[in-house]
Structure 1
Amino acid sequence: MKTIAVDAMGGDNAPKAIVEGVDQALADFSDIAIQLYGDEAKIKSYLTATERVMIIHTDEKINSDDEPAKAVRRKKKASMVLGAQAVREKKADAVISAGNTGALLAAGLFVVGRIKGVDRPGLLSTMPTVDGRGYDMLDLGANAENSAHHLHQFAILGSFYAQNVRKINNPRVGLLNNGTEATKGDPVHKEAYELLAADTSLNFIGNVEARDLMEGVADVVVTDGFTGNAVLKTMEGTGLSILSALKSSIQSGGARAKMGALLLKPTLYNLKGIMDYSDAGGAVLFGLKAPVVKCHGSSDATAVYSTIKQVRTMLETKVVDQSVAAFTKVEKED
């Protein structure tokens, strides 16, 4: 039985969306148990599952405007912190939250702890492509700055995730840069290119450009946290803007436009599905001793369900255990 700690109070739609996602997951997966951390009365008003679920009551939570590190240190009984502590104490196998991203990163680092040999964990998420396969990208904002050595470690972590969780054999690893030539980029990216090219355990395909990401140019894309976060938000904003502009054009285009939209309805729904993040799961703070996963702040029940499904797969494939073994081996060799 896999036990997953869930922060029921984090996110814009908590606890309703969180608990409804948990209800769906418990109904579909008989091999998981859920620990819900938060206000018991509010949680019970949405909880329909009666088996394999436990509520750990707390009135304290970390707010979206709290300073992350201070909040984790001072709010010891916050729902997010209690979930991370359960993982550290082996009472749970993973923790999920849709709350304050910075606080979850801090809880992951300070409470759960990083894998020995990993300098800086990276925030990894599966991003959309036009063919629906997607690609794994990190770092998406856990670190503002990264060295070439960090980027090399991200490539190793990303490959582990793509192989074990997404079942991609020999995943293609690309380094996000401002050109595809090996000589492109600043000194950090040039050094990272050399490290990645020299690592025979990786299927490194070279530099990739941002404009090619949605075409599926690589299975794993490595970048620094500042750039990755900017790319993530640009893609989210662009996707929402395209759908909004399309809807507005149809509504203002008269009867002909509306009739055309009716005929194209299945295709438009397919486009929405490609741009929608809710089925992909959450962003994994990869490089820690256990899965720590961040749901989008505006997650609905479907997104929460998908994140639980994602964590279940991570635990089933023991991707974190394999990462620990790999980095321990590298450290011994060094």
Structure 2
Amino acid sequence: MKIAIDAMGGDNAPEEIVKGVELARDAFPDMTFQLFGPSDRLTPLVRNADRITVMHAASVIAMEDEPVRAVRSKKDSSIVLAATAVKNGEADAFFSAGNTGAVLAAGLFIIGRVKGIDRPALTTTLPVVTGDASGSFTMLDVGANADYKLSNLEQFAILGNFYGQTVMGIKQPRIGLLNNGTEADKGDKVHREAYQQLSESTQLNFIGNVESRELLNGAADVVVTDGFTGNATLKAIEGTALSMMSLIRAKIMGSTSAKVGYVLSRKAFHQVGQVMDYSKHGGAVLLGLKGAVIKTHGSSKAETVRNTMSQIHQIVESGLIQQTIDYFEHERAEKAADDQTEK
């Protein structure tokens, strides 16, 4: 499988991106990598060129660039050329740690939506921290669509169900609708209608509304929400985790007895840190496109890049994209046939 990489995206690019790719190359013998960026900057960083090809891209879309304008004007940028490689069938997936808006725009305008999908959804995986603390859950949308309607939430549920089955390996993922209460009449009009529609679905294992405070407790395998709420929730979870770890560290360093306690409990603290490390779960996937598009944190370092390549390996190997295309094409064909029958 061939992976097209925006090697210039992110706070630590290109050095950490190239290091992460080399780690992934060593871990996955069936993967090859195309590094897009200025060749004079990338080539010296590649220590072992086995299954790694530097693809020259003359320009870079910066974090502060206006996404749509940049994608349309910087045709020779690393983001645009990497996305174009997927569109042309020269790569199986597009990866970037760069400008999120530009990655979304490139996915939409260059790779394109699956027919039948109104809006793609940015999808992320987060840890479950209760029980044996080895589980995870998937949430979508976490930032691609601030505005939404009923059909979007319904499609997100279907996309999340496919992801849970094919990538996460869950036969019947529990689908939950993020809301401000578990009762069926909670939320705004669209959420109440979505609850009703999802409840009537025979294809989904819909378990009802879930509250944000229960997400990390494993309330659902797939959590469906709009992009505005999902992004706010995601950042609140990440911010709380970072703040708690900083608070614990400060308290430990503040007294001798706490330092002694830390030494005795070091293994437990390490395990907590490992569970809360969201980078282990890879990047955010833009589901609903005709190709695999994965965006990871701008602050990602080599290990995170390597972990995201593992996620990409699962996505490509599972055939998720083609299954999604086939499903929605079948749905469109059935709807057209029903409409024709009614006429």
TM bucket normalised to smaller: over 0.9
| Whole-Å separation in 2 of the counterparts to 1:180 and 1:249 | 36
1:254-286 deviation digits (Å, cap 9, x = unpaired): x21111101111111111111111110000000
Verify the 8 A CA contact 1:26 1:49 in the aligned structure 2.
no
Distance across 2 between alignment mates of 1:132 and 1:331: 38
Q: Which residue, 217, 235, 252 being the options, matches 2:237?
A: 235
Task: Please list, as runs of the form range in 1=range in 2, the aligned pairs for 1:172-183 lying within 5 A after superposition.
Answer: 172-183=174-185
> For residue 340 of structure 2, what is the aligned residue in structure 1?
none
- For 1:67-216, list aligned pairs within 5 A: 67-130=66-129, 131-216=133-218
Quote the offset at 1:89 in angstroms: 0.8
Q: Which residue of 1 aligns with 2:264?
A: 263
Residue by residue, what CA displacement relative to the aligned partner does 1:172-227 show, whole Å, maximum 9, x if unpaired?
A: 00000010001111100011111111111000000000000000000000000000
Supply the distance in 1 between the matched residues of 2:123 and 2:303 (Cα, whole angstroms).
Answer: 20
TM-score (norm 1): 0.98
CA contact (8 A) 1:9 1:38 kept: yes
Question: Which runs of structure 1 show a deviation greater than 2 angstroms over 4 or more consecutive aligned residues?
Answer: none
Q: How many residues align?
A: 332
SS at match of 1:293: strand
Between the aligned partners of 1:30 and 1:274, the Cα distance in structure 2 is 28
Distance 1:320 1:49 in 2: 31
Indicate the percent of aligned positions where both proteins have the same amino acid: 51
Distance 2:49 2:96 in 1: 22
State the one-letter code of the partner of 1:331.
R
Equivalent-residue separation in structure 2 for 1:120 and 1:278 (angstroms): 26
Check the 8 A contact 1:98/1:299 in 2, yes or no: yes
1:211-246 Cα deviation digits (max 9, x unpaired) = 000000000000000000000110111000000000
Q: Who is 2:278 aligned against?
A: 277
Question: Counterparts in 2 of 1:318-333, with a 5 A limit?
Answer: 318-333=319-334
Distance in 2 of aligned mates of 1:252 and 1:163: 47
SS of the equivalent of 2:143 reads coil
Give the SS at the match of 2:281: coil
Report the alpha carbon displacement of residue 45 of structure 1 after superposing the two structures with TM.
Answer: 3.0
Contact kept in structure 2, 1:135 and 1:221, CA below 8 Å? yes
State the partner residue of 1:317. 318
SS at match of 1:45: helix
2:63 matched to which residue of 1?
64
The CA distance in 1 between the partners of 2:134 and 2:122, in whole Å, is: 21
* Stretches of structure 1 lacking an aligned partner (at least 5 in a row): none
> What is the CA–CA distance in structure 2 between the aligned matches of 1:48 and 1:236, rounded to whole Å?
34
Q: TM-score of the superposition, structure 2-length normalised?
A: 0.96
Q: Distance in 1 between matches of 2:262 and 2:221?
A: 33
Contact 1:123 1:285 in 2 (8 A): yes
AA aligned to 2:274 is G
Distance 2:238 2:14 in 1: 24
Structure 2 unaligned regions, length at least 5: 336-343
Equivalent residue letter for 1:283: A
- After superposition, the CA RMSD in angstroms is 0.8
Q: Which moved more, 1:96-105 or 1:130-139?
A: 130-139
In the TM superposition, 1:213-228 aligns within 5 A as: 213-228=215-230
Offset, 1:148: 1.2
CA distance in 2: counterparts of 1:138 and 1:192, whole angstroms = 15
Q: 1:27 — aligned with what? A: 26
Are 2:309 and 1:308 aligned? yes
SS in 2 for 1:182: coil
The one-letter amino acid paired with 1:296 is H
Deviation at 1:52, TM superposition (A): 1.2
